[in-house]
A and B are shown apart, each in its own frame.
Chain A
Amino acid sequence: MGVDNFDLGALADPTKSHDSIKIDGEDPVFLKSQFRQMLTIRLVEEHLAAMRKEGVIGGPVHLGAGQEAVAVGVSTSLRNTDRIFGAHRSHSHVLAMGGSIHGLFAEVLGRETGLSRGMGGSMHLWDQPRGFYGSVPIVAGTVALATGAGLAAKMSGTDDIGVVYFGDGAIEEGVVHESLNLARMLQVPVLFVIENNLFSSHMHISLRQPHDATSRFAAAHDIRFDTVDGNNVVAVKNAAQRLINHSRSGEGPGFLEAVTYRLYGHVDWREDIDVGVRRSTEDLANWRKRDPIKRLFQGMEEAGIFSLDEQNLCEAEIRKDIDEAWAQALRDPYPSPDTLLDRVYTKQVMG
């Protein structure tokens, strides 16, 4: 890897890659399910944005709309015995593993039936039956945890892997570099998925790092890596599959850099085009043309395997699920105050 590869080039240029997704050789049924998953995540997040704006949701929500192809593409090669970790922007990570919309909504509303039993909120998703071991609000905090979870899988002789989603901001934290080196030295089966959306809060990557390709850190640690258009679900799926196969077969860690963009601002429903630098209305408009859902639709439509009618039907079904899940979550109870004291330590039975 030379200095040339330190920069993302066209991948980070929002005027490029607006074309429909090439789906040659992909199974239509599979593609439709990927489409449905991405659209579900998008509509769920749009719903959360609207409810947050209305004030129905009390705490902050970090929305990843625009980035759906990353989790959906990666998760096709994952199973629920893998150990998957996220951070503050993890709705897509849990939903792509088949997590329940109702569980997510109830958590965001602080209800007892939520994914963290209402004890966390949008940044605390926990769905162990689906392999999702948790998102936390501390940026980069779970990178080491996923490495350890992957190492445990290796030590117990399974071919399960650890997976961690984190951002181009998170990679600036020291613990990430410690984890990368450790993962490589111990040949840990772990996939580091970097959702490089070019921003950390309001700061563009060019104000924080000398180069915008974060895979340079994988190269430095001698970890196998790939860099893909994160708004192309087929490209993400294929690259993730190769790296995951490599980890499952005992060859150590992998690092996937998916270049993408969030359509909302850092937190909540606003677009954040008024703050920070280099998040211009023009960029946002261009990134909308690289929308992962729209591009997959175009690819399938051009190939004659999907139509606008089918999309509308799919959307109507999802909206119905969302409305039901939301209505249910609003009826669910809050955790009772006495449970607050109960969950700090393991209960030991004496005698």
Chain B
Amino acid sequence: MNKSNLVQAVNEALHFELEKNPDMILLGEDIGRDGGVFRATDGLIDIFGENRVVDTPLSESGIVGVAIGMAAYGLIPVVEIQFMGFLYGAMEQLLSHAARLRNRTRGRYTCPIVVRAPYGGGIHAPELHSESTEALFVHTPGLKVVVPSTPAEAKGLLLSSIRDPDPVLFLEPAKIYRAIKEEVPEGEYLIPLGQARILTEGKDVTLITWGAMLHPVLKAADRLAAEGVEAEIIDLRTLSPFDSETLLQSVSKTGRAVIIHEAPRSCGLGAEISALLCEEALYSLEAPVLRVTGFDIPFPLPKTEKYYLPDVDQIVETIEAAVGY
């Protein structure tokens, strides 16, 4: 098996499904002849032609809206938006139409679109190129939100997202696009949406995270393992609707939970998870549910992003606080 990085895994998934499903169409700015800002669609136009790998004008709201219309009439559009921060112009289409089409038509139409966008910080990018505003979309009933954390996960989750009859926002952690290489299963490889992944089992504390943050969390857990702390690490991977069952089961065992995300703190998805644990697992809890998050500020520019992003030390300290409570 070949080793791939996350961008290559995305490319493989798109390639595989374009071959398999003649109704699937890619749309986006610079995705065809150029191959995309991060090269996720590199080479696909040569194989599938410009009718299926469509270079669009610079029009995010138009692209997403057109994709919704195509989806309602039987196609499977997969849209690339160059950065998550450029999605905001298309909010109206996503929130007012994509998320509601099924409900509005009482199930007569579905909206099987996927909108892919790189997201997250740590790439030395300017404003609006490091956004982690997944909570805006998680808060929108009708949209699914999926975030892979490794190349193989990216392939399996993207294929499932494309096959899903509902609209999926697929957020790709830009920081680890090329940072990790691993074996990615060839051909058909599906990871069901809505199921969290338990990376390591442990009895002392549950660590809940997703996307690029998984990697500092793994390091933090390693460091604590040396001190005898056994952490159970959960990669949430489908953020909406998320797998509350796995979280509750884990916390009923460990009695402690720390949620780690790079998004701003207030009303981040961590707050919702914390509320769930307090409502449903109160009697298991032996410590307050703690969070390690970004700050309630717009993501800062390159020279100061290190102060913003949660790092291994911070994560270790917070886990120690939960365990030592």
- On A, residues with C-beta under 8 Å from B are 58-60, 110, 118-124, 136-140, 169-170, 172-175, 200-203, 207-209, 275-277, 334-335, 337, 340-341, 343-344
Contact = CB atoms under 8 A, between A and B. Distances in A.
B38 to A, nearest CB: 13
B80 interface: no
Nearest to A209: B57
A203 B125 contact: no
Contacts of B304: 110, 334-335, 337, 340
A340 B294 CA distance: 12
A169 B125 contact: no
B62 interface: yes
A28 to B, nearest CB: 41
B34 interface: yes
Contact of B86 (A59, A118, A138, A334): A138
Given A137-B126, A200-B58, A207 B33 contact: yes
Contacts of B59: 172-174
Contacts of B89: 138, 173-175
Given A59-B124, A202-B33, A340-B308, A170 B302 contact: no
B55 A124 contact: no
Contacts of B283: none
B129 A341 contact: no
B127 interface: yes
Which applies to chain B's interface (DSSP): helix, strand, loop or mixed? loop
B126 A119 contact: no
A105 B149 CA distance: 37
B74 interface: no
B82 to A, nearest CB: 9
B303 interface: yes
Contacts of B58: 139-140, 169-170, 172-173, 200, 208
Nearest to A88: B126
Contacts of B61: 173-174
15 contacts: A59-B124, A59-B126, A60-B125, A121-B302, A122-B126, A138-B86, A169-B58, A201-B34, A202-B30, A275-B35, A334-B303, A335-B303, A340-B307, A341-B297, A344-B297
A201 B126 contact: no
A176 to B, nearest CB: 10
Contacts of B125: 59-60
B301 A121 contact: yes
Nearest to B308: A340
**A122, A138, A169, A344 pick with most chain B CB within 10 angstroms:** A138
A85 B125 CA distance: 22
Which applies to chain A's interface (DSSP): helix, strand, loop or mixed? loop
A207 B298 CA distance: 35
B14 interface: no
Nearest to A123: B126
A172 B61 CA distance: 10
B300 A123 contact: no
Interface residues of B, number: 35
B189 interface: no
Contacts of B12: none
A174 B301 contact: no
B264 to A, nearest CB: 10
**A275, A276, A340 pick with most chain B CB within 10 angstroms:** A340
A203 B30 contact: yes
Which 4 A-B pairs give the minimum distances between C-beta atoms? Answer: A110-B303, A172-B57, A202-B34, A169-B58
Contact of B301 (A119, A138, A175, A337): A119
A203 B34 contact: yes
B295 interface: yes
A59 B88 CA distance: 22
Contact of B34 (A59, A276, A340): A276
B297 A201 contact: no
A209 B55 CA distance: 12
Contacts of B235: none
Given A137-B85, A340-B307, 20 more contacts: A58-B302, A60-B125, A60-B126, A110-B304, A138-B86, A138-B88, A170-B58, A173-B60, A174-B59, A200-B57, A201-B29, A202-B30, A203-B30, A207-B55, A209-B57, A275-B35, A277-B33, A334-B304, A340-B300, A344-B298
A200 B59 CA distance: 11
Contacts of B57: 169, 172, 200, 208-209
B303 A138 contact: no
Contacts of B297: 340-341, 343-344
Interface in B87-145: 88-89, 124-129
A201 B124 contact: no
B280 interface: no
A119 to B, nearest CB: 6
Contacts of B62: 172, 174
B310 to A, nearest CB: 15
A337 B297 CA distance: 12
A118 B303 contact: yes
Contacts of A174: 59, 61-62, 89
Contacts of A58: 124, 302-303
A200 B33 CA distance: 13
Contacts of B56: 208
B296 interface: yes
A120 B300 CA distance: 8
Contacts of B300: 119, 340
B163 to A, nearest CB: 30
A269 B324 CA distance: 52
